[in-house]
Amino acid sequence: MKSVYVSVLVACMALAAHSAMAQVAGKTTLGIAVAEVDLVASGWSAKKQILGRHVINETQQKVGKVDDIIIAPDRSVSYVIIGAGGFVGVARHDVAIPVDQIEAQDGKILLRGATKDAIKALPAFEYAKK
- Contact assessment for residue 101 and residue 95, using Cβ atoms and an 8 Å cutoff: no
pLDDT tens track for 70-79: 998 898 888 9
Q: DSSP class of residue 112?
A: T
Domains of the chain (ranges; CATH) run 4-121 (2.30.30.240)
| Residue 93 to residue 95: CA distance in whole angstroms | 7
Above 70 in pLDDT, residue 27? no
pLDDT-derived band at 109 (thresholds 50, 70, 90) equals very high
pLDDT-derived band at 69 (thresholds 50, 70, 90) equals very high
- The pLDDT score that the predictor gives to residue 24 is 46
At position 82, the amino acid (one-letter code) is I
Burial category of 88 from C-beta neighbours within 10 Å (exposed 0-12, middle 13-18, buried 19 and up): exposed
What is the number of residues in the chain?
130
pTM of the shown model = 0.67
